[in-house]
């Protein structure tokens, strides 16, 4: 009980005692134990008068101090000193606390930055390693991941988080197994080796796993690829599929017949035998060419190895790409290779796609039709002829020694507001090509420049600046802003410009009759009205030869979407040649049917 703290004592309290000499607490600032009076004594004093003996006796009793145990006082003083020592910080304790806080803050900021930098460095190293494998490999590797196309690795049979696939044979591997797969699996062989024994009997080339879900086994006729793992086989030539348990030695050694699209596939054995007969035996061939890397002139030389009039070419791009390929076909005619000229089909990937729309291939392709169906359409398409025209531009001047500019026209030639829109679009696309990869965005840019020209009217009073001759006869022009010379039925992204609307009867425009249709427009706003079928163009006439003389000033011109600014000149349009095209009549309209009918039937109908 003697070791109890002071507050346990019944008659004591802790109060600070001041030292008058120092002005502070006595005994080093420690509180002092002061005795307390009993409660009954206060009651007694409050009830007695001040001068009574009891009051005086109480005062005398209060002057006496009660005795406190020294051990208790010592314990109280030691505990108070400890409490004060804990409250008083050391001189450098606050500085150390601030330093630790700064250190932890720097670590929390710099550590994520370091981890991010290290991960990006490792990623760049992996990309360099992957690109090096892509460059040296015979496979056509492309990047893939789990989110773009969930597949399984053909080496480790695990889900591909980050890997590659071959766009030629369909092999899919994870990033870590890329080098192993490149050594273990062979790609589709376009041309077999000269010492190969299977020149006549082409065997199946099986690839395991990642088969289409809609495929069926050729043995048991059940669905393949339905299990969530790497299973079943697919031949990369004939596209046949078979279950793992149905795969037999007879199927592995069976001759491949190239399946449904055998008429579109060049057998590797045929190219090998042709290459043996040629002097240049180092030539390598392919069936799919990127025209940005391999020019069409070089790519079309593959047609010279095929039987006469048997080649068909599918051009994937816009009208400009089609014109580029047709120019290469014309060079084959100059070389005397007319028997090897292919028929051309179009997969529309451009902005306007007026030529592909005229030939029945649609206004655009965004993957809505499977590739297999596109190939079927190419096989079913009919061959037709397309007029090609020579546009010759001769500059005016007495001392002009330059050769006239020559262009080849497939679609249309124009001077005026639509050429101005194409010129402005082309100028901005040359500055930032990556921003003009969307068909909808490109049309929005055309709309912007068309709206701007409605307010500015840069091509007004065209009839005072040009003279027009059709088959040698001069034509008087009204107050126009633009002249358009048509070879095909569609213009401006799907507008039937020559036929127009209403009850007026005009013969349908044809692309193989050797005639050009010439129309005029009153401005950009008039062009917009024509496209939404609210107005008709000013029809000038049809002719075999068109001549346009620009007398003064600079005017925008275009040929098949290729614009330029032209000064005073003479433009002459004459027939050049025919091109063999493929017309698909699967989704044609009544106008398309009538425009592709025979001229005699059209005359009888009239």
Residues 401 and 523 in one domain: yes
**Same domain, yes or no: 229 and 178:** yes
User: Is residue 90 assigned to a domain?
Assistant: no
542 sits in which H/E element: strand 538-543
**563 and 435 in one domain?**
yes
Rounded Cα distance, 361 and 582, in Å? 9
Q: Give the DSSP per-residue string, 365-400.
A: -SS-S-HHHHHHHHHHPEEEEEEEEEEEEEE--TT-
DSSP code, position 3: T
Return all residues near 186 (Cβ < 8 A) that are at least 6 apart. Answer: 138, 205
Provide φ and ψ at 527, rounded to 5°. -60, -40
Phi then psi for 387, rounded to 5 degrees?
-65, 135
Q: Which residue, of 242, 271, 300, is where some domain finishes?
A: 271
Greater pLDDT, 235 or 58 = 235
* pLDDT of 352: 78
Highest mean pLDDT among 52-61, 94-103, 140-149, 156-165: 156-165
User: Percentage of residues in the chain with pLDDT exceeding 70?
Assistant: 74
Residue 600 pLDDT > 50: no
pLDDT attached to residue 605: 33
Q: 361 and 412: one domain?
A: no
Over residues 35-53, the mean pLDDT reads: 44
Evaluate whether residue 605 is within a structural domain.
no
Over residues 521-531, the pLDDT tens digits come to 998 888 888 88
Same structural domain, 545 and 409: yes
- Give domain status of residue 70, yes or no: no
Residue 221 lies in a domain: yes
Question: pLDDT digits over 275-330, tens only?
Answer: 666 655 455 566 788 888 889 998 898 888 888 888 999 999 988 899 999 999 99
| Residue 289 covered by a domain | yes
Q: List the CATH number of the domain containing 180.
A: 3.30.60.20
pLDDT at 256 over 80: yes
Range of the domain at 333: 282-384
Based on the domain organization, do 462 and 565 belong to the same domain? yes
Same structural domain, 196 and 289: no
Same domain, 288 and 347: yes
What's the pLDDT score for residue 121? Answer: 87
If asked whether residues 320 and 457 sit together in one domain, one would say no
Is 298 within a domain?
A: yes
Are residues 500 and 532 both part of a single domain? yes
Instruction: Write the CATH number for 366.
Output: 3.40.50
Instruction: Report the C-alpha gap between 340 and 303 in whole angstroms.
Output: 6
pTM: 0.69
Distances (CA, A) of 544 to 189, 342, 474: 49, 27, 14
* Strands 312-317 and 343-348, bridge-based pairing: parallel
Provide the pLDDT for residue 378.
Answer: 92
User: In CATH, what number is assigned to the domain containing residue 542?
Assistant: 2.60.200.40
Lowest mean pLDDT among 49-58, 115-124, 128-137, 381-390: 49-58
> Domain check: are 455 and 405 in the same one?
yes
- Which range is least confidently modeled, 141-150, 264-273, 523-532? 264-273
E strands within 191-311? 206-208, 233-235, 241-242
Q: Of 271, 298, 322, which residue sits at a domain end?
A: 271
Q: Tell the burial category of 577 from Cβ atoms under 10 Å away from its Cβ (0-12, 13-18, 19+).
A: middle
Considering the domain architecture, whether residues 213 and 226 belong to the same structural domain is answered as yes
Q: Is residue 590 part of a domain?
A: no
Q: Which of 322, 354, 384 is at the close of a domain?
A: 384
Count how many domains the chain has. Answer: 3
Q: Is residue 2 part of a domain?
A: no
pLDDT tens per residue, range 458-512: 788 888 899 999 999 999 999 998 999 999 988 887 788 887 665 565 677 888 8
């Amino acid at each position: 009980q003697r070791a109890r703290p002071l507050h346990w004592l019944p008659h004591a309290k802790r109060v600070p005692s001041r030292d008058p000499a120092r002005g502070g607490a006595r005994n080093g600032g420690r509180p002092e134990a002061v005795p307390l009076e009993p409660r009954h004594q206060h009651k007694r004093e409050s009830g007695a008068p001040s001068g009574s003996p009891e009051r005086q006796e109480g005062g005398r009793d209060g002057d006496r101090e009660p005795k406190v145990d020294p051990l208790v006082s010592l314990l109280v003083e030691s505990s108070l000193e400890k409490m004060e020592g804990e409250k008083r910080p050391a001189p450098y304790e606050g500085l150390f606390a601030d330093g630790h806080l700064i250190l932890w803050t720097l670590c929390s900021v710099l550590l994520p930055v370091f981890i991010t930098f290290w991960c990006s460095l490792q990623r760049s190293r992996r990309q360099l390693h992957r690109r090096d494998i892509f460059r040296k490999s015979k496979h056509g590797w492309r990047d893939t991941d789990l989110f773009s196309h969930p597949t399984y690795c053909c080496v480790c049979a695990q889900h591909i988080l980050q890997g590659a696939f071959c766009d030629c044979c369909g092999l899919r591997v994870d990033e870590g197994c890329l080098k192993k797969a490149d050594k273990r699996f062979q790609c589709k062989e376009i041309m077999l080796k000269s010492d190969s024994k299977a020149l006549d009997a082409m065997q199946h080339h099986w690839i395991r796993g990642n088969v289409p879900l809609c495929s069926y086994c050729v043995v048991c006729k059940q669905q393949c690829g339905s299990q969530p793992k790497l299973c079943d086989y697919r031949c990369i030539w004939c596209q046949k599929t078979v279950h793992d348990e149905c795969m037999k030695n007879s199927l592995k050694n069976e001759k491949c017949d190239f399946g449904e699209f055998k008429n579109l596939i060049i057998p590797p054995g045929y190219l090998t035998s042709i290459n043996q007969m040629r002097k240049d035996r180092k030539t390598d061939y392919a069936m799919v060419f990127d025209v940005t890397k391999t020019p069409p002139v070089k790519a079309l030389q593959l047609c010279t190895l095929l039987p006469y009039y048997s080649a068909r070419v599918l051009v994937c791009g816009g009208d400009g790409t089609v014109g580029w390929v047709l120019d290469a076909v014309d060079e084959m005619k100059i070389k005397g290779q007319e028997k090897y000229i292919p028929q051309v089909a179009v997969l529309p990937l451009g902005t306007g796609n007026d030529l592909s729309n005229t030939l029945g291939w649609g206004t655009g392709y965004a993957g809505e039709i499977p590739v297999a169906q596109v190939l079927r359409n190419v096989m079913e398409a009919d061959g037709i002829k397309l007029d090609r025209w020579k546009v010759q531009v001769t500059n005016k001047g007495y001392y002009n020694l330059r050769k006239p500019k020559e262009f080849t026209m497939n679609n249309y030639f124009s001077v005026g507001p639509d050429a101005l829109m194409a010129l402005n679009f082309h100028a901005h696309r040359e500055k930032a090509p990556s921003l003009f990869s969307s068909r909808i965005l490109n049309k929005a840019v055309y709309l912007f420049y068309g709206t701007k020209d409605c307010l500015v009217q840069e091509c007004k009073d065209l009839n005072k600046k040009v003279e027009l001759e059709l088959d040698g006869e001069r034509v008087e022009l009204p107050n126009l802003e633009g002249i358009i010379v048509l070879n095909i039925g569609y213009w401006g992204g799907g507008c039937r410009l020559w036929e127009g609307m209403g009850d007026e009867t005009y013969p349908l425009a044809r692309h193989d009759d050797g005639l050009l249709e010439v129309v005029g427009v009153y401005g950009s706003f008039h062009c917009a009205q024509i496209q939404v079928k609210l107005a008709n163009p000013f029809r000038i006439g049809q002719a075999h030869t068109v001549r346009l003389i620009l007398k003064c000033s600079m005017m925008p011109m275009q040929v098949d979407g290729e614009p330029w600014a032209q000064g005073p000149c003479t433009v002459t349009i004459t027939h050049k040649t025919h091109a063999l095209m493929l017309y698909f009549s699967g989704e044609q309209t009544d106008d398309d049917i009538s425009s592709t009918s025979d001229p005699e039937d059209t005359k009888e109908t009239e």
